[in-house]
């Protein structure tokens, strides 16, 4: 039932009440039906951060179109409202119809940042559900999660009933059918529905598995306890994005949110092979949306929402075939009077051209962001971000020449084998970018953002021991001292303490559940927020559990050591990742398999899917892809084979591209 009558009097007493009222353009208040499984889809952070999340918006529409499903949304109330809700006994609610969470069958969250785990626990509690799955009764909500973080689900295994791995578009329909049948049967028992969910490909039910440790407290393996649970749970991969042109009705908020613009996903996956990048590894292969569909989604979306900005999203949008044409047709569309600007939030410097700079800058010129990630070529070979300095300078020259003045450059520090020379390389890259800017403008500015590297599951760096906070701080100070007199270069950095906390949960095992619960019980919510983050919560909780930072964060893993996510599969062969780790240490780069023969990483071969790319040649510009000079672009004939041959050992050893 609705909690609106009890909620409304509280809204006058809190900051930003518009966060809680829904009513956005594109919102739906679906009719709940006895035969339909009711989903409450959530993002475990505030409305401003959660509303633009495309994953939730896509799933909301797909479930609402399903004959056996309905879906509404929820976000984390800020601490002021939470306090009042707890005082007045108001439970967590949906923003669409203000129904109490307990009226739904499933509450499912998108998890894209590990530090939101304490908010996840808080929202389960606010919904009136026992935080640990073992304490739940048949009438309680099923708690589900999905998103990139869940590729290592073990730290939150105690709190969730099921985990969705990979693309959600198809699997939510299958879950809806199982839960609708359970609902119609009167929710007879919980184990039965969990066993049925475990039978769906891509769904992991943690309570049906047990983690086994040796006498020294080292993980030995994670094994199924039930015949319904597969020994390894494989991710789901949509073979063709063209079949899923969602969201069709992107929400237009009434209040300020991050990324407040039309968002259209142009492709999923990335095969550039950056070794630090979990998103690139777990979302393989590349699946492009047809350019015509992108144009239609953009035009329909702009028309419906009234936005004058569209972001073409992906992990590396400049790699999209025909990007210049799509951008040009959007900004020059007479229907929108030349007033539309296009942002490409994820730009690779080696695929950014004067053409793109000219087009996206036509309507509005805000800052441009590039991510060289490391300061020296040696370091970029280690991380396999094979961007040459010349590529960066050519990209910023294109931008400056087209009228841009402000550049943002993203870097990581604390990478494997990093030396002080590599760190200081960041300063010289930034200075050179400023010098190029001065050829075009009087006072160009460059902001460099430096984040402390946190290794993630299913990347070649999953074995690497993270830099300590002290070491990260020393490197940042080194850079700060170096840039002290460069007024055109502004340095920003991510708090090394937050990198340490993220490191605890990123590669943690089931024992971390007690730590997350402890942090939550001591008031540690909104740990993604600088003003709320406190490493001491985490250190105290670790200590109380007899665990250490050294064990989870700073220690290098061994080749054959059991990893907490060994019973999960992102498709990637472990020996491919290990070979990549060795290649990293040997400073050997690996080219993009989109335009070269397959290396048999497992992501396509294991699932019978393959890249969907409109162009068989790499985009203009850049040095990566074929081992040839691509600055001229478009001249490398590569035939995409229906079934790609495995890379031969000899080719692997030679690092050759075939
Ligand atoms: S299976 Fe081959 S083609 Fe597919 S992502 Fe892996 S290396 Fe690339």
Question: Which candidate, 154, 94, 156, 151, places its Cα nearest to that of 127?
Answer: 94
Q: What is the per-residue pLDDT for 652? A: 36
pLDDT bracket for residue 366 (50, 70, 90): low
pLDDT of residue 362: 58
d(CA 617, CA 139): 55
pLDDT, tens only, 438-481: 999 999 999 999 999 999 999 999 999 999 999 999 999 999 99
Q: Does the pLDDT of residue 290 top 50, yes or no?
A: yes
**Confidence grade of residue 96 (pLDDT, cut at 50, 70, 90):** very high
Residues with C-beta less than 6 Å from any ligand 1 atom? 271, 284-285, 593, 598-605, 644
CA dist., res. 595 & res. 574, Å (int): 23
- Least confident window among 51-60, 368-377, 604-613: 604-613
Give me 451's structure tokens.
Answer: 């984040």
Q: Which atom of ligand 1 is nearest to the CA of 602?
A: 1
- Report whether pLDDT(38) > 80: yes
* pLDDT value, residue 616: 67
Please give the number of the atom of ligand 1 that sits closest to the Cα of 286: 5
Q: Does the structure show a pLDDT above 60 at 283?
A: yes
Please tell me the distance between residue 110's alpha carbon and the centre of ligand 1 in angstroms.
26
pTM greater than 0.85 (yes/no): yes
Residue 452 bridge partners (DSSP): 413
* pLDDT for 364: 57
- Measured from the Cα of 572, ligand 1's closest atom is 6
Q: Which ligand 1 atom sits closest to the C-alpha of 610?
A: 4
Contact by Cβ (8 Å): 396, 438: no
Q: What is residue 548's predicted lDDT score, i.e. its pLDDT?
A: 96
Report, as an integer, the average pLDDT of 554-578: 96
Work out the average pLDDT over 365-386.
88
CB 30 within 8 Å of CB 63: no
Specify the residue with its C-alpha closest to ligand 1, atom 6: 601
Q: What average pLDDT does the segment 4-21 reach?
A: 96
Q: Average pLDDT in the 298-319 region?
A: 90
- Per-residue confidence (pLDDT) for residue 624, from 0 to 100: 42
Please give the order of strands across the beta sheet that includes 368-373: 368-373, 406-413, 445-452, 489-493
Residue 108 Cα to ligand 1 middle (Å)? 31
**Tens digits of per-residue pLDDT, 188-222?**
999 999 999 999 999 999 999 999 999 999 999 99
Tell me, what's the pLDDT at 651? 38
288: helix, strand or coil: strand
Q: What residue owns the CA closest to ligand 1's atom 1?
A: 604
Return the percentage of the chain with pLDDT > 70, whole number: 90
Atom of ligand 1 nearest to the CA of 605: 1
CA of 611 to the centre of ligand 1 (A): 8
- Rounded average pLDDT over 480-495: 95
pLDDT at 115 over 60: yes
Q: Is the pLDDT of residue 274 over 60?
A: yes
Band of pLDDT at residue 365, cut at 50, 70 and 90: low
The rounded Å distance from CA 285 to ligand 1 centre is 6
């Amino acid at each position: 039932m609705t909690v609106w009558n009890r909620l409304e009097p509280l809204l006058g007493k809190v900051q930003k009440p518009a966060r809680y009222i829904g009513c956005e353009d594109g919102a739906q208040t679906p009719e709940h039906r006895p035969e339909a499984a009711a989903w409450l889809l959530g993002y475990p952070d505030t409305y401003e951060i959660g509303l633009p999340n495309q994953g939730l918006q896509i799933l909301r529409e797909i479930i609402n179109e399903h004959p056996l499903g309905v879906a509404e949304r929820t976000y984390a109330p800020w601490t002021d409202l939470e306090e009042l809700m707890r005082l007045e006994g108001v439970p967590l609610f949906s923003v669409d119809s203000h129904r109490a969470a307990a009226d739904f069958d499933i509450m499912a969250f998108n998890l894209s940042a590990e530090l939101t785990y304490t908010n996840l626990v808080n929202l389960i509690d606010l919904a009136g559900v026992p935080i640990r799955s073992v304490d739940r009764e048949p009438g309680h909500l099923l708690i589900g999660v999905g998103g990139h973080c869940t590729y290592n689900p073990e730290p939150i295994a105690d709190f969730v009933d099921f985990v969705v791995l990979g693309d959600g578009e198809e699997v939510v329909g299958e879950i809806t059918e199982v839960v609708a049948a359970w609902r119609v049967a009167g929710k007879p028992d919980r184990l039965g529905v969990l066993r049925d969910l475990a039978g769906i490909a891509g769904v992991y039910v943690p309570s049906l598995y047990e983690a086994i440790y040796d006498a020294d407290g080292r993980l030995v393996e994670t094994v199924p306890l039930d015949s319904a649970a597969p020994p390894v749970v494989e991710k789901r991969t949509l073979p063709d994005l063209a079949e899923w042109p969602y969201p069709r009705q992107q929400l237009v908020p009434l209040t300020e949110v991050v990324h407040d613009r039309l968002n259209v996903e142009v492709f999923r996956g990335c095969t550039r092979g950056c070794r630090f990048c979990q998103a690139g590894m777990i979302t393989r292969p590349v699946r492009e949306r047809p350019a015509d569909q992108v144009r239609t989604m953009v035009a329909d979306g702009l028309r419906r929402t009234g936005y004058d900005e569209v972001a073409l999203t992906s992990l590396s949008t400049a790699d999209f075939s025909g990007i210049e044409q799509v951008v040009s047709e959007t900004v020059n569309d007479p229907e929108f009077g030349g007033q539309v600007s296009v942002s490409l939030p994820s730009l690779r410097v080696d695929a950014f051209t004067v053409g793109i700079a000219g087009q996206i800058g036509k309507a509005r010129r805000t800052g441009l962001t590039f991510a060289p990630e490391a300061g020296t070529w040696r370091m970029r070979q280690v991380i396999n971000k094979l961007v040459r300095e010349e590529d960066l300078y050519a990209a910023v020259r294109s931008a400056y020449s087209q009228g841009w003045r402000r550049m943002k450059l993203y870097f990581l520090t604390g990478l494997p084998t990093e030396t002080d020379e590599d760190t200081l390389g960041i300063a010289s890259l930034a200075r050179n970018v400023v010098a190029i800017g001065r050829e075009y403008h009087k006072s160009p500015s460059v902001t460099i953002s430096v984040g402390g590297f946190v290794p993630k599951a299913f990347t070649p760096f999953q074995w690497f021991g993270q830099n300590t906070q002290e070491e990260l701080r020393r490197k940042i100070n080194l850079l700060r001292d170096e840039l002290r007199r460069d007024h055109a270069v502004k340095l920003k950095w991510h708090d090394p303490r937050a990198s340490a906390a993220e490191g605890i949960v990123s590669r943690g095992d089931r024992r971390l559940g007690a730590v997350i619960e402890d942090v939550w019980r001591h008031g540690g919510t909104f740990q993604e927020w600088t003003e709320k983050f406190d490493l001491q919560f985490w250190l105290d909780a670790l200590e109380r559990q007899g665990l250490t930072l050294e064990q989870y964060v700073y220690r290098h893993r061994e080749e054959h050591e059991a990893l907490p996510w060994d019973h999960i599969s992102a498709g990637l062969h472990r020996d491919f990742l290990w070979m990549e780790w060795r290649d990293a240490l040997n400073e050997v780069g690996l080219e993009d398999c989109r335009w070269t023969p397959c290396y048999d990483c497992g992501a396509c071969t294991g699932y019978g899917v393959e890249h969907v790319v409109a162009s068989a040649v790499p985009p203009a510009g850049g040095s990566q892809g074929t081992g040839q000079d691509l600055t001229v672009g478009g001249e490398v004939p590569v035939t995409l084979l229906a079934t790609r041959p495995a890379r031969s050992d000899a080719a692997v050893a030679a690092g050759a591209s075939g």
